A and B are shown apart, each in its own frame.
Chain A
Amino acid sequence: MIEYNFLALIILPFFWFFSLGVIFFSRIKFTENFLSESSKYLSLILSMLALTLFLQVWHLSPSHLKFDYPSWIKVGHYEFKIRFIVDLLGGTYALLSTFLISTIFRYSRNYLHKEEGYFRFVFLLAVLLFGLMIVSFARTLDFLFMGWELVGTTSVLLISYFYSQVQPVRHALKAIISYRLCDMGILAASAWAHLHLHTTDFSALPEVLAEHGHHGEFGFLLIGIFVIWGSLAKAGQLPMSSWLPTAMEGPTPSSAIFYGALSVHLGPFLLIRFHDYLSHFPSLLWSIGIIGGVSSLYATLVGRTRSDAKTMLGYATISQVGLMYIEIALGFTNFAMFHMFTHASLRTYQFLRSASLISDFVDNPRVVPDVLIQRSLPLESLFSKNFRRKIYIHALHSFHLDFMTGRILLGICWPFRAYMKLEDKWMDWDNQLLKKIFGKG
């Protein structure tokens, strides 16, 4: 029963976006009505499935179910295993995803009415749903990576939804670079795990580790480091924070679903998946906690100076996700899951309503013209005025995160640049020589 249920959750979105794609390439024109109706019903069915699954795993927890299917690819010793795990974490995430996506579908039906890119939007959300289902239920890191990538790709394509303008494309580029840098972490973790542990199965990892019995070995630690690194970009944690607030270029519902809810929580999700493994290494837990702590502090300070609705929400999201990192580091994984769930729904709602802000303020009897709205805290007045002013200015410039990243990148690229300079010089010299030999022209 559970098996059919979760398989349906994976296969239905797959068939959906696949057939959308096929029909699209056979050049059949979609009517808007067809797209909106089909997406509405399908996502509602999926939500129902996810709900029943959730109730089942709730009943089952804390134990979980594993499902193994024949391998997809075999290359030498390597097998791409299709392995699933159905547990409370995956069930919760699937439920959250399907619920929020059906809400977004219903919302976009009017919001994107008459829009040329409506098909593209629906298609990408279908792909996203499929990706999320894979991530929720995958049991190996290799397999999870597939879903992870689909989420990243749809995210980038929706940031650049208005691809005829410069700014969205540039910010999509920023996002994809951040994603890519961190995806390398996941790939490296998976490669390393294959090398040292001969498996990337999350459920088996702790046992394998116990078998080996020597946690101190650097290779094992490195897997953990790579996984943590891999989770940073999606979650917008430091030092990968600067892309997220600038990613609010697509239509509002897509910003809501990605950066308020489903994509941004994949970071903590991955860490929870790996928690059994990571908890063997106190140093890793410490670093998760520190990253989360610093990121949330950073984001909340920067967020306080932002005066536009969506960027502000972006920073608020980073700061709450940072708290989830701390919760995970402390071992409260179930609590982090709960936090994730509530946070996702609150942010989605705030994003969707963000266009009402001006009316909300003007209609509020507490907002009186020509009187500054009082909102600072008694705690802040403990600091000197000068200090607060300084913090304000640096927070306004995001504590120069982009500048410093740039410097570091420049540092890394230094050998190349030095080489380029050398080459320029060589070319100059060469030209002069040629001139000398052959004269002018």
Chain B
Amino acid sequence: MTSALPQEDFESLMNRIRNRLPIQNPLHAFVHNNILLMFENQDFHEALADAGDLYRARTYWPEERYRARYAEGKMTDDDIKEGLTHYLGRYNEFSPLGYFKIDPKDFLYRLMFSELIYNDDDIQPQIKDQHLWDFCVAKTAGRALTLTRSKVKWRGKEYWEKYHNENYLLSVNPFVFRLISSYLDQGQSFWSNPFMKKGFWAFVSYDIRETSNFLSGWQKILGRKLAEYESTSPEEIIQLELKRLNIPEEVWEKVLLELLFDMKGWSGMVNKLELEPWQATVKSPQIKLTDYLAFLVLLESSVNEFHAQTNSIDLSLIIGREEKQEIRSFQLSLALYQITKSFKLDAGWMNDLSTETLLKIVDDIDIIENTHKIRLWHEAYEHHFYREALSAIVQHGKETRVAVPTRDPYAQILFCIDDREESIRRHIEEIDHGVQTYGVVGFFGIDMKFSSLKNQRLIAQCPPVINPSRVIREFSVDQQKGLGFQSLNRLMGTSGLVLYYQSRTLFRGFFATLILGLLSFVPMFLTVFFPKQSQVFKQWAKEKFNPTPRTEIDIEKGAEDSGYSKQEMAKIVEAIIRMCGLKEPFASLVVMAGHGSSSTNNPFRQAYGCGACGGNAGVPNSRAFAKMANDPIVRTELKSLGVNLPDGTIFVSAYHDTCTDEFNFLDVENFPEQHQKNFLILKKNLGQACKMNAFERCQRFSSEEAKNNPESALKHVRERAEDLAQPRPEYGHCTTALSVVGRRSMTRGLFLNRRSFLISYDWEKDTEDGKILFQAVIGAVPVCVNINMDYYFSCVDNDNFGSGSKLPINLISLLGVMTGSQGDLRIGLARQMVELHEPIRNLTILEAPLQRVKSVFDSHPRLRNILYHHWTRIVVHDPVQNEWYIFGQNEWRVLQAEKFIMKHFHSSADLIKVTHSNEDFAEIDE
């Protein structure tokens, strides 16, 4: 092609486009991510403004919700002022200020409460000050203003929809959906797509050619165009068509992105499967974003041409038209009137100003109102929480009355940093003073792919940012039994597949229906009416007919990439022990508690699991770690590294199910006699802690019985996990807003209402340059931000950032979900998962010398972005100077915490019963 862009320019264009597409994995490998990960190099608010345009979404709560909180007294003027001060640190140039002659703070404060509704024709304006009104009218008589906000439209879409009875949602999108969903299918349909290996473009062109007799309307033009472009490559087609539409090269990126974002889920998935085909659920087809994009561009131009032809419209009038936002003289005077009133200006402020200047002011105020107002409300709302959280934690540090157990602990439990583990840690510490708890990232430093006995699929058991380096396998102690178990499992697998496919066909479906039809009544009734009992029965039947044999995992260094050498094991163990600052002398029991969550009929299963283990249960990691740390050779290696584990210390692996609140110990068949007594006590107390944990969680559920009685709470949460009809097995990370990096003493005995990630780090055991701090921060803080942001966006605009309601959900192509019978592949979290969430940026509190924190955050690009672009708010408690610092807009400053009136309770049980967990912070006197 003569006029095409140079190859590298086109590629860089495509790369820029790729960077903006949604980054979600197929659901089977869902991990929490900041949906706007690629926008993190911009300031939070600016990134949100850009993303809002792109996603056509709201990026904050609607203003009324913030205002409602203010009206309820859940946000005060103090919060607003704090938010304003913070905001002014960065955004402080407001051109009308010079004319208004008011303080910027007052300006913003009044802006928040301003009522500028001159643009809305439906609302009858109220004019009380007739004199002022007359003045305004006189000033603007006969004038009109075109707002700077007016946009140039490069697509015909809105025009056709508005004036020519077109509806992309019903005509164009289903057309794309049909082809792309069938092409990306991983095995849900009976026939696989015959073009899987040939590429999407081959599929599309064959499809259109084959069906050309049955095309109508714009589809006909599409068919003609495709025939025309038979020997042209998709890259060229994109450019030719864009040129044909007379779209200037500067806006290509914008236009192409707009096209892709019509069905953003599918576009994102195409991009994902092209770049990371191993993420596919089964097997990724040959797919290229350019093929898909060329198809979209052709569709766009066909629709444009069709409407232009049928209605004899000159396309050049539509493409690149400016949609003017004009306000007329009446509205202008109304604007001036309302500005004067809203900002409480002196009536004479307009006296010396020319009409030109006034128009400029109206225009500026229009922009300011549309960008800054909602941000200010959001800042105020966040600051309400920040102020409360900080003053509570500072206060708690001063009041330290917590009786640090006088005797040495007999058990140290390492939990995941997860906010859902905050409560159980609090409960076990409260119940048993001989227990210390720590928070470490739940994959325990073991970057592995795991293959279980049951399912040989290799599952990455580490955070998504890490590339798993090793393969660890589970094996049966009794080989014969293991083989029997596996072959029976495979048989079940085969019959599962056969039943799935064949029950949906014609003749085999006929027999399947006759045979299975009556039988299916039994499981249906049982699972719907008696979810828990049927699960018990299933478990029993499984143990009876295909018992899981006793297994172990093989961590030894083997061929190629399997297993670890003893030195590597020692390093892993050392790193974890140092990172969490495990206190010496080591307790006789060190429990590695992985976690996961069980649920049924839940496509979002992965979102409830352990984020650090890639959404899976943390069982294999905790088993592997315990095995490593108990190995005598590893212990001698450890000695040389300076960690002296006494013989009396034994590592035990355990698993906490955050949904059913069951706490199980693993690999304890040959438990040493000497620890037996302690072990039994610990088990009993953990059982009690689980009960209290369930009780605390049930306060958010609707079952009255479970709200009042810990026993039935435990039963209730177990039932939730097994219920086929339960869209909310648990609330996951809902309400998460805080993360604390530091010693447990900072938060021990403080009720945090399951809102906080707790990361253990002992500044005293770290080197001066903060090596360990870096490890702790890089492993945890980005994960916390990811989870927090995922919930944030799904919460503020569930329709566009989230996946909508779970009720009409429909699984498609084994990749994800969509709503109803056709449409876009949904991203983010379902409405039911985030309904209790409060969208607040994470507040990260670190306990470490300030200098150390600074150097750590400066040393890594992602951490720099998070800090300097305010994707999280960071506070540092410098224990050396005993001073608190907060990062403002650009600088660290000393934090003046306010006095917090802390409520005191005798026990968690009291607190739960009295307040039903309406408190976010309270002191529990043990």
Contact A109 to B182, CB < 8 A, known contacts A297-B506, A365-B454: no
Contact present for B822 and A393 (CB under 8 Å): no
In the assembly, what is the distance between CA of A394 and CA of B212, in Å?
A: 11
- Residues in A with CB closer than 8 Å to B806 are 355
The distance in angstroms between the C-alpha atoms of A372 and B190, with both chains bound, is 12
Name A367-419 residues within 8 Å CB distance of B. Answer: 367-373, 375-376, 385, 388-390, 392-397, 400, 403-404, 406
B28 x A358 contact (CB < 8 A) = yes
User: Quick check: A252 and B808 within 8 Å, CB to CB?
Assistant: yes
Interface-facing stretch out of A8-16, A71-79, A310-318, A429-437: A310-318
Task: List A contacts of B724 (CB < 8 A).
Answer: 107, 352-353
Q: Cβ of A107: which chain B residues have Cβ within 8 Å of it? A: 528, 724-725
Residues of A contacting B454 in the complex (Cβ-Cβ under 8 angstroms): 365
**Residue among A312, A341, A376 facing the most chain B CB atoms (10 A cut-off):** A312
Q: Which residues does chain A contribute within 8 Å of B728, judged by CB atoms?
A: 113
The yes or no answer to B603 lying at the interface (CB within 8 A) is yes
In angstroms, how far is the closest chain B Cβ from the Cβ of A323? 6
Proximity string of chain A (234-270) to chain B, C-beta cutoff 8 Å, 1 when within and 0 when not: 0000000000011111111101000000000000000
| A residues near B516, Cβ cutoff 8 Å | 342, 346
Asked if A190 CB lies within 8 Å of chain B CBs, one says: no
Knowing A106-B529, A372-B187, the reply to whether A249 touches B509 (Cβ < 8 A) is: no
Query: Which of B211, B216, B494, B524 lies in contact with A394, CB distance below 8 A?
Result: B211
- Whether the Cβ atoms of B822 and A167 lie closer than 8 Å is yes
* Residue from the list B181, B501, B514, B702 in contact with A307, Cβ < 8 A: B181
B211–A320 CB distance below 8 A: no
Judge whether A51 is part of the interface by a CB distance below 8 angstroms.
Answer: no
Asked whether, in the complex, the Cβ of B528 is within 8 Å of the Cβ of A245, the reply is no
B187, B216, B812: which contacts A308 (Cβ < 8 A)? B812
* CB pair A366 B504 closer than 8 Å: no
A181 contacts partner chain B, Cβ-Cβ < 8 Å: no
A319, A342, A358: residue with the most chain B Cβ atoms closer than 10 Å: A358
A251-B807, A323-B506 are contacts. A110–B725 as well, Cβ < 8 Å?
yes
Given contacts A320-B510, A358-B27, A393-B207, contact A371 B282 (CB under 8 A): yes
Inter-chain contacts of B500 with A (CB < 8 A): 360
Residue contact B503 to A353, C-beta cutoff 8 Å: no
Tell me how many residue pairs across A and B have CB atoms closer than 8 Å. Answer: 288
Q: Is the CB of B821 within 8 A of A310?
A: yes
Q: Is the interface of A mostly helix, strand, loop or mixed?
A: helix
CA A367 to CA B458, docked complex, whole Å: 12
Contacts of B249 in A (CB 8 A): none
B925 on the interface (CB 8 Å rule)?
Answer: no
Which residue from chain B places its CB closest to the CB of A312 in the assembled complex? B504
Neighbouring A residues of B27 by C-beta, 8 Å: 358
Question: Which residues from A are CB-within-8-Å of B28?
Answer: 358-359, 361-362
Q: How far is the CA of A105 from the CA of B191 in the complex (A)?
A: 35
Q: Does B91 contact A (CB under 8 A)?
A: no
C-alpha spacing A276/B743, complex, angstroms: 83
Is A108 an interface residue, CB under 8 A from the partner? yes
Q: Contact mask B794-827 → A, CB, 8 Å, 1/0?
A: 0000000000011111111110001011110000
Q: Are B214 and A305 in contact (CB under 8 A)?
A: no
Closest to B530 in A: A106
Q: List residues of chain B with CB within 8 A of the CB of A360.
A: 496, 500
The reply to whether A346 and B520 form a contact with Cβ atoms under 8 Å apart is: yes
Whether B283 sits at the interface, judged by CB under 8 Å, is: yes
A321 to chain B: closest CB distance in Å? 11
A354 at the interface (CB under 8 A from B): yes
List, in ascending order, chain A residues with CB within 8 A of B517's CB.
341-346
Q: How far is the CA of A106 from the CA of B516 in the complex (A)?
A: 22
A307 and B528 contacting across the interface, CB-CB below 8 Å: no
- Would you give the shortest CB distance from B299 to chain A, in whole angstroms? 16
Residues of B with C-beta under 8 A to A369: 278, 280-283, 457-458
- CB contact list, B177-222 vs A, under 8 A: 178-179, 181-182, 185, 187-194, 196, 206-207, 210-211, 214, 216
Q: Which residues of B511-554 have CB atoms within 8 Å of chain A's CB atoms?
A: 512-514, 516-518, 520-521, 523-525, 528-529
Contacts of B520 in A (CB 8 A): 345-346, 349
Q: Give Cα A361–Cα B529 distance, bound, in whole angstroms.
A: 26
Residues of B within 8 Å of A390, CB to CB, are 210
Return chain A residues, CB-CB under 8 Å to B510: 320, 323, 339
Please name 8 pairs of A and B residues whose Cβ atoms are closer than 8 Å in the assembled complex, sorted by A: A167-B169, A171-B821, A304-B190, A345-B520, A352-B601, A352-B725, A356-B603, A367-B282
- Give me the interface of A with B, judged by CB distance under 8 Å: 32, 99, 103, 106-115, 161-162, 166-168, 170-171, 245-253, 255, 296-297, 299-300, 303-313, 315-316, 319-320, 323, 338-339, 341-346, 348-350, 352-373, 375-376, 385, 388-390, 392-397, 400, 403-404, 406
Pairs of residues from A and B, 10 with the lowest C-beta to C-beta distance, nearest first: A342-B517, A366-B493, A307-B185, A251-B807, A300-B506, A304-B190, A308-B812, A316-B504, A249-B820, A373-B187
